[in-house]
Amino acid sequence: MIEWAVISFLLVAFVICICRRGHRHLLVPWLLWASIVMGSVAGWLVESLPFTKFSGQPTLATALAVAAGMFAGRLSGRATRGWARGVERDIAAGVLPGEPRVTHPLIGAGIAITGSFLAYTVIALRFESLETLNTPRAETGVVLGGEEVRLAGDPALSHAVILVHGFLGSPADFGDLPQRLAARGLTVRAVRLPGHATGPSVLDDVAATEYADRVELTRQELAATHRKVSLVGFSFGGAVALRAATGSGVLSPPPVPDEKGAAAPATSSAPVAPPAFTPHRLVLVNPYFGHVVTPPWCPIDADTLMGIAAATVPRVIKPEGMLRLSDQSQAGRLRAYSTIRTKATVIARGIAREASSPEVAAKVTCPTLLLVSENDRTVPSPLSRAWFDVLPLPAASKHLLRFDRSDHILFLDYDREAAYAAVAAFLTAE
For residues 278 and 280, what is the distance between their CA atoms, to the nearest angstrom? 6
Residue 423 has pLDDT above 90, yes or no: yes
Q: Is the dihedral of CA 344, 220, 269, 238 positive or negative?
A: negative
Residue 287 has pLDDT above 60, yes or no: yes
Q: With cut-offs at 50, 70 and 90, classify the pLDDT of residue 321.
A: low
Higher per-residue confidence, 244 vs 193: 193
Higher per-residue confidence, 220 vs 264: 220
For residues 297 and 275, what is the distance between their CA atoms, to the nearest angstrom? 47
Q: What is the pLDDT of residue 127?
A: 93
CA atoms lying within 13 Å on the CB side of residue 46: 23
Residue 354 has pLDDT above 90, yes or no: yes
Q: What is the pLDDT of residue 302?
A: 87
Q: What is the pLDDT of residue 254?
A: 45
Residue 272 has pLDDT above 70, yes or no: no
For residues 27 and 35, what is the distance between their CA atoms, to the nearest angstrom? 13
Write the pLDDT tens digit of every residue in 76-130: 999 988 988 998 888 888 887 778 888 889 999 999 999 999 999 999 999 999 9
pTM of the entire predicted model: 0.86
Write the pLDDT tens digit of every residue in 126-162: 999 999 999 999 999 999 999 999 999 999 999 999 9
Q: Label each residue of the chain as H, E or C.
A: CHHHHHHHHHHHHHHHHHHCCCCHHHCCCHHHHHHHHHHHHHHHHHHHCCCCCCCCCCCHHHHHHHHHHHHHHHHHHHHHHHHHHHHHHHHHCCCCCCCCCCCCHHHHHHHHHHHHHHHHHHHHHHHHHHHHHHCCECCCCCECCCCCEEECCCCCCCEEEEEECCCCCCHHHHCCHHHHHHHCCCEEEEECCCCCCCCHHHHHHCCHHHHHHHHHHHHHHHHCCCCEEEEEEECHHHHHHHHHHHCCCCECCCCEECCCCCEECCCCCCCECCCCCCCCCEEEECCCCCCCCCCCCCCCCHHHHHHHHHHHCCEEECCHHHCCCCCHHHHHHCCCCCEEEHHHHHHHHHHHHHHCCHHHHCCCCCCEEEEEECCCCCCCHHHHHHHHHCCCCCHHHEEEEEECCCCCCHHHCCCHHHHHHHHHHHHHCC
For residues 387 and 166, what is the distance between their CA atoms, to the nearest angstrom? 19
Q: What is the pLDDT of residue 31?
A: 87
Q: With cut-offs at 50, 70 and 90, classify the pLDDT of residue 167.
A: very high
The chain-wide mean pLDDT, for the chain, equals: 89
Q: What is the pLDDT of residue 90?
A: 86
Q: What is the pLDDT of residue 322?
A: 66
Q: With cut-offs at 50, 70 and 90, classify the pLDDT of residue 256.
A: very low
For residues 402 and 4, what is the distance between their CA atoms, to the nearest angstrom? 39
Q: What is the pLDDT of residue 185?
A: 96
Closest listed residue to residue 241, CA positions, set 175, 193, 177, 304 = 193
Overall average pLDDT of the 363-381 stretch: 95
Q: What is the pLDDT of residue 268?
A: 44
Hey, what CATH topology would domain 149-428 get? Rossmann fold (3.40.50)
Q: What is the pLDDT of residue 263?
A: 46
Q: Give CATH 3.40.50.1820 domain extents, the chain.
A: 149-428
Residue 60 has pLDDT above 50, yes or no: yes
Share of the chain above pLDDT 90, in %: 69
Residue 262 has pLDDT above 70, yes or no: no
Q: With cut-offs at 50, 70 and 90, classify the pLDDT of residue 270.
A: very low
Closest listed residue to residue 192, CA positions, set 144, 228, 227, 225 = 144
